[in-house]
Amino acid sequence: MKGLFITIEGTDGAGKSTQIELLTEYLSKKGRDVLVTREPGGTPIGEKIREIILDTENSEMSDITEAMLYAASRAQHVNEKIKPALLEGKIVICDRFVDSSIAYQSSARGISRELIEDINKYAVCGITPDITLYFDITPEEGIKRKKNMHKLDRIEKEKEDFHKRVYDGYQNLLKLYPERIKRVDASQSISDVHKQVIEYINKIL
Ligand code: TYD
C-alpha cells in the first residue's frame, strides 16, 4: 500500500470530529492528498446500515446482529473506498475502525474478542491502520458533551456502566498494541489536543 491509514478512536464525545477537521486542514496545507471518512458508514450502502444500527427504535437488535452489521458496513467501506484510496497513495483518516468493534461489541456487549476479530478479518481484507490515535476522556465527560450537542442515538443511550466498559476496552487495547495505538489526552483544550495529534502524525509521515 502506498498511502497512509490513520484511524481515530475514543469513547462517545471525545471530540474526534473537531480534531479530524484540524488534522485534515493541517495535512492539506502540507500538500497531502487526504480522504476523510467514518464508520459505521462511509459509503452509500454503509450509511444505510448505519441508520439501522443507530435507530433508537431498533431496541430488540441482538448483540451479534449489531456486531455483524458494523462488520458489513466496514467490508463495503474497505472495498469501495479505503483500499482504493490507499492504493492511490492517499492519506486516509477514518473516524473509528475495528478497535471500536472490540471496545463496544466485545468489551461492552460481552461478545468474545476472538469472535469479533474473526468476523472483522473478513471485513478488512488485510487492511490494518498504520497508526491509531485514541482520544482519552472519561466516559462521564464524553456523554455530558454529547448530550449538549444532539439527541442521543441507540448506542449513546446505553447506561453508564456500558460506557465504562467501552472505556476499559480501549485501555486494554492500548496495552495490547502500544506500537500502533497512541494515547491523546482529549480533556485538554482544542489547540493543545491538536498539538498532540500533530506530533504523533509528523513522526510517522
Ligand atoms: P457516531 O455518531 O459516529 O459516534 P461518534 O461521533 O462518537 O463516533 O456513532 C457511532 C456509534 O457506533 C458510536 O457510539 C460507537 C459505535 N460503534 C460501535 O459500537 N462499533 C463499531 O464498530 C463502530 C465503528 C462504532
CATH number at residue 63: 3.40.50.300
- Which DSSP symbol is given to 131? E
**CA distance linking residue 155 with residue 180, whole number of Å:** 26
CA of 96 to the centre of ligand 1 (A): 7
Atom of ligand 1 minimally distant from the CA of 95:
8
- Find the radius of gyration of the CA atoms of the chain: 16
Q: Give me the mean pLDDT over the 129-144 stretch.
A: 94
Report the residue among 7, 11, 115, 155 best suited for mutation to probe ligand 1: largest number of ligand atoms under 8 A from its CB: 155
Report the amino acid identity of residue 89.
G
| Tens of pLDDT, residues 37-87 | 999 999 999 999 999 999 999 999 999 999 999 999 999 999 999 999 999
Report the residue among 100, 106, 156, 157 best suited for mutation to probe ligand 1: largest number of ligand atoms under 8 A from its CB: 100
Buried-exposed string 31-41: b where 16+ CB fall within 10 A, e elsewhere: eeebbbbbbbb
96 lines ligand 1 (CB under 6 A): yes
- pLDDT band at 195; cut points 50, 70, 90: very high
Report helix, strand or coil for 189.
coil
Mean pLDDT taken over the chain: 96
Q: Would you state the cell numbers that stand for residue 111, as one nine-digit string?
A: 461478545
Model confidence, pTM = 0.96
Report helix, strand or coil for 55.
coil
Per-residue model confidence (pLDDT) at position 33: 97
Residue of 40, 15, 36, 50 lying closest to 149 (CA atoms): 15
**CA distance linking residue 40 with residue 54, whole number of Å:** 9
Q: Give me the mean pLDDT over the 122-128 stretch.
A: 97
**CA distance linking residue 68 with residue 40, whole number of Å:** 11
Per-residue model confidence (pLDDT) at position 150: 84
Residue 143, Cβ neighbours under 10 Å: how many? 20
Per-residue model confidence (pLDDT) at position 172: 98
Instruction: Provide the domain limits for residue 126.
Output: 4-204
Residue nearest to ligand 1 atom 11, measured at CA = 155
The number of domains in the chain is 1
Per-residue model confidence (pLDDT) at position 149: 83
CA of 87 to the centre of ligand 1 (A): 26
Residue nearest to ligand 1 atom 20, measured at CA = 101
Per-residue model confidence (pLDDT) at position 159: 87
Per-residue model confidence (pLDDT) at position 1: 76
Per-residue model confidence (pLDDT) at position 130: 98
Residue nearest to ligand 1 atom 2, measured at CA = 153
- pLDDT band at 144; cut points 50, 70, 90: confident
